[in-house]
Structure 1
Amino acid sequence: MNRTTLSLIAGTTALAAVTAFAAFDTPSASGAAAPTAAARLPVERSGLLCPAPSVSDIADTSYTSFTPVTQGTAHTGKAELRAADEQSTDATNGKGKGDRKKADQPVLTPKAPGTPVTGDTSGADGPALIGTADGKFAPGWTVQETTEVAAGTGRGLLGVNCTAADTEFWFPGASTADGRTDYVHLTNPDDSAAVVDIELYGKDGAIKSPLGENLTVKPHTSEPILLSTLTDQRQGDLTAHVSVRSGRIGATVQALDDKTGGDWLAAATDPAGTLVLPGIPKDATDVRLIAFTPGGDDADLKVRLASPDGLITPAGNETLHVKSGMSTAADLGDVTRGEAGSLVLTATDQAVPVVAALRIVRGKGDKQETAYIPATAPVGTRATVADNSAKGTTLALTAPTATATVKVTASAGSEGGTPVTKTYTIKSGTTQDVAAPTPSGLKGTYALTVEPVSGGPVYASRTLAATEAGIPGFTIQTLANDRGMVAVPRTDEDLSVLQK
């Protein structure tokens, strides 16, 4: 077979492939049928990145992995979490298989969708983890990392949902103040190095920080960057912007305080004109709002609290003016006044994209603890959060614009139990701390899956609480769409393109 024949075959094959993939059923001039809607199918592969849990020698960390049961998935598949620094390959370190430290020993390996699996570690040596899931384990896969630290800087309960890799992250609420130790953890899951910039914005605008430019994160590694080493300025309310020049990473901020404990500060949702920050604990003693607009215009925001009875305006904090390129903070005090609440930010006039987060304090005096609520996207089709227990779990649901009906499913327990599902109606403009279902005969921990059934958009968060030595340890995770389904266009072959 000569080259001409091979080229002809290759060209025909390529055209057929393009035709099969891209030739939609478009209407003809004579009035053919309209295009068929894209099918929604389960994703076939997903990845998650978990930051190194703690720098404390007395830290105890648990990991909980869960995949909700999804119709239409493959019958096979697997999911696993491995230490980031154990995944180096020949291309990155020149070593063979035998030289990889425990490279073939996953930290955690789920057994089946619908049932959580747990793992744990202790001390300051817990590594960052890189996880992959495919087949039946991929759609909606979630991993929760929860750490208890009994004493010292950042003591309390710290929790974070392991995140997917991306190229841009916003962290309003970071700090370089005295008494704060904030690290931004950068994890690279890929086979090539990532190049990253960290920009800091304070009350007067951008903070010059050459040390935050062109940071290299090697393949399959994680780097904790102490924010106070990037600048000499000490400010309590900063917005950190992590952007990737090449590659992709996972990024999360660990915010530790000498006196008021600490938690993980997850990335806020993308800049938008309307933001929802769901699930402020009813017993919060201090709530602080940090906002930032990256555009060229100032933002004027209406501040409202979605309470159990509807939207109300906090006295003395009716509006917030956010200057362009500057971090702005407002002390809302005990804004919930003993009731469930979520903060809703909307433009008073022209919508200007904004990012925002809340710093939440519970307790008083030397028994304070801190957690964070970043602005988040709606639940969408489905969202899941793991590592729940029969006591100490609070699920907050918010419907800021229209009444919504929501289905909540408690999975089987990690050590036993039968799933249970309940349905709730959340009235327009309200937040409800719902009595989340627990599995029948629960043993171990379980996952909660939230699925809006009808009505307006729903926002959600989950609070874990555990009081030790009189200190009200707690951590809050928002629930965002698990991206377990993807739209796949319907296509048909059209060989007529080969005749043109």
Structure 2
Amino acid sequence: MNTRTALVTRLAAGAVAAAVVGGGVIVAAAAPWPTLAREPMSLDVVPEAARSVAACDGPLLALGRDATAAGAITAAAPSSVVSAADSGDPTSYTLATPDRADEGAPPAAFSAEPTGGVPTDLGAASSASLDDPDLRGLAVSACTRPAMESWLVGGSAATGASDLVLLTNPGDVAATVDLRVFGADGAQDPVAGRDIVVAARSQRAIPLAALRRGEQSPVVQVTAQGAPVRASLQSALTRTLIAGGVDQVGASALPATQQVIPAVDVTVAPDSVASAGGMSVRLMATAADTLASVTVRSVADGSVVSQQDAIALAAGRPLELEVTGMPVGDYTVTATAADPLVAAAWTSTDQATPADFAWAVGAPLVDAPTLVAVAPGPGPTLTLTADQETAATLTPVSGGESQSVQLAAGQSRTIDVAAGTVYRLDPGPGGIRGSVGFSGAGQLGTYPVTGSAAAAAELTVYP
């Protein structure tokens, strides 16, 4: 074999080998490759028990009573507070109020140290009332723990309203808060609502009109950094120089596809010749445009008194829905949609006499035993409603006979309770939603039952 022949032979052999190797690579690529799947390592842990904290709204506040200082905020009526803890009395302390022009009647906060490695549950609630020419009515609220995000559904910044957003920090670390206000034109981030510093153990008061003047149906999203805060709203109304009521409105349940307002108290018959406030429901889709349904049921017998479907909600734009023609009584309002929403309902007493109103907000699901404080006030009741069948038990913390309530899915029941008393509520296996309501001559008030501070959730940690 000469050199030329040998070279040709080697080239041919190389081409064949390359083809074989290339074909093998193609076949290997097309064939299924072996895989190795490994579940991530995880560990379920319960956070170390921390101090339980609850903050209260404090006294009723008046805006602009001093003619020489239209923006001055002063205390108008002190609040009465009831509190209790699982083990002994909680520690109480007062909070600073840098936005107020006076130094009287500071808001209160309560704390309780963990017991046996478990957070100590505590319950507290407050009430205040007055009957002045510029401000009258009853305001009740639960003293609740702070949160990093809250939604305030209620109030107004229109003419005649003098509402205040209250930001309360009962902790030992300063918080920075942003307020986003939703209205007819969508979301706005007002300058007055940006980077609000709430010092440790203090309460800030921000006029709602300074955030979005003229807005009739606002919804306020409260976002905190650095430390959680308790967000609430004091709403006050004046009609042609006559005080039309006052209320302290806590945060609504976080956005969800279902919002349940356990009890809305209608006190004036639809055929009354007197001026009646009626009921309205404020809704807002928080994430996307959606269609909502609102069902109003009688707490007494479960009958449907109003059903409105296919309500078009534009994301970030609150809608006020009028519900008319209801007899005197208590009603459970349920709002549902395919996308998350928030909800609250408004009602008032007879407006032809000294009047008052109340905002009832969506209540969270309570799925663990919790303390429920009943503030001092007229005609207190506790209304419970169930998403699924359950049996709830209510027991006074100071001792006394327990009350058991059997609830079918979607059913509501009202229980008489004693003013100024703290109860332990065991929601049973199905969980419940609840609200405490008050009603008297020219007085209305309500607040939702919130979950236990002792129900520390289990966390899944991935290393």
Counterpart of 1:292 in structure 2 is 284
Whole-Å Cα distance in 2 between the matches of residues 488 and 148 of structure 1?
A: 41
Q: String of CA shifts for 1:235-274, please: whole Å, max 9, x gaps.
A: 2210011112433322111111123211111111111011
Q: Does 1:379 align with 2:371?
A: no
Which position in structure 2 is the counterpart of 1:177?
A: 158
| Residues 1:82 and 2:93 aligned together | yes
Residue 274 of structure 1 aligns with an amino acid whose one-letter code is Q
Match of 1:460 in 2: 434
Structure 2 residue 45 is matched with structure 1 residue 59: no
Structure 1 equivalent of residue 329 of structure 2: 339
Aligned partner of 2:183 in structure 1 is: 202
What are the within-5 Å matches in structure 2 for residues 229-268 of structure 1? Answer: 229-231=210-212, 233-258=213-238, 259-268=243-252
How far apart are residue 157 of structure 1 and its match?
A: 1.0
1:221 and 1:391 map into 2 onto residues whose CA distance is: 30
Q: Does 1:403 align with 2:421?
A: no
Larger Rg: 2
Retained in 2: the 8 A contact 1:79–1:138? Answer: no
Deviations 1:354-399 (A, max 9, x none): 1111112122323321111111111211233224569611111112
Residue 126 in 1 paired to residue 105 in 2?
A: yes
Counterpart residue identity of residue 409, structure 2: S
After TM superposition, give the deviation of residue 292 of structure 1 in Å. Answer: 1.4
The offset of 1:332, in angstroms, is 1.2
CA-based RMSD of the aligned residues comes to 3.1
TM-superposed deviation, 1:346: 1.6
Q: Where do 1:88-487 residues align within 5 Å?
A: 125-136=104-115, 139-207=120-188, 209-231=190-212, 233-258=213-238, 259-283=243-267, 285-295=277-287, 297-307=288-298, 308-310=300-302, 312=304, 314=306, 317-333=308-324, 335=326, 337-347=327-337, 351-387=338-374, 392-399=379-386, 401-412=387-398, 418-436=399-417, 445-454=420-429, 456-467=430-441, 471=442, 473-486=443-456
When structure 1 is superposed on structure 2, of 267-276 and 458-467 the one drifting more is: 458-467
- What one-letter code is carried by the residue in structure 2 that aligns with 1:133? A
Q: Distance in 2 between matches of 1:202 and 1:432?
A: 35
- AA matched with 1:85: A
Change (3 A) 1:433 1:224: same
Structure 1 residues 133 and 322, CA, compared in 2 at 3 Å: closer, same or farther? same
In the TM superposition, what whole-angstrom CA distance separates every residue of 1:23-52 from its partner, at most 9, and x where no partner exists?
xxxxxxxxxxxx99978x995520112233
Tell me the TM-score normalized by structure 2: 0.76
Aligned-residue offset at 1:150: 1.8
The answer to which of 136-145 and 165-174 deviates more is 136-145
Q: Return the alpha-carbon distance in structure 1 between the equivalents of residues 350 and 431 of structure 2.
A: 32
1:49–1:164 contact (8 Å) kept in structure 2: yes
Distance 1:187 1:68 in 2: 24
Q: 1:223 to 1:334 in 2, by over 3 A?
A: farther
Deviation above 6 Å: which 4+ runs of structure 1? 35-39
Gap change, CA 1:479 and 1:228, over 3 Å in 2: same
* Partners of 2:86 and 2:171 in 1: CA distance: 26
Aligned partner of 1:102 in structure 2 is none
Maintained 8 Å contact 1:253/1:265: yes
CA contact (8 A) 2:436 2:448 kept: yes
In the TM superposition, residue 489 of structure 1 has moved relative to its aligned partner by 8.5
Deviations 1:9-68 (A, max 9, x none): xxxxxxxxxxxxxxxxxxxxxxxxxx99978x9955201122332225651421111124
Alignment coverage as a number of residue pairs: 390
3-state SS of the aligned residue for 1:281?
A: strand
Superposed displacement of residue 304, structure 1: 0.9
Q: In structure 2, what is the Cα distance between the partners aligned to 1:63 and 1:434?
A: 21
Structure 1, unaligned runs of 5 or more = 1-34, 70-76, 88-122, 413-417, 439-443, 491-500
Question: Relative to structure 1, is the Cα distance of residues 42 and 394 closer, same or farther in structure 2, using a 3 angstrom cutoff?
Answer: farther
Distance 1:420 1:68 in 2: 18
Distance 2:408 2:193 in 1: 45
CA contact (8 A) 1:63 1:143 kept: yes
Q: Point out the more displaced range, 477-486 or 55-64.
A: 55-64
Q: What SS class does the counterpart of residue 429 from structure 1 fall into? A: coil
Listed one character per residue, the Cα deviations across residues 325-351 of structure 1 (whole Å, up to 9, x for unaligned) are: 11111111354x23332111122xxx2
Q: CA deviation at 1:425?
A: 1.5
Name the % identity: 21
Deviations for 1:388-446, whole angstroms, at most 9, x for unmatched residues?
569611111112x433211111333xxxxx4220111223322222344x5xxxxx831
CA–CA distance in structure 2, aligned partners of residues 481 and 361 of structure 1: 28
Q: Which amino acid aligns with 2:332?
A: S
Is there any run of 5+ residues in structure 2 with no aligned partner, and where? 1-41, 63-74, 269-276
Instruction: Give the deviation of 1:186 after TM superposition.
Output: 1.3
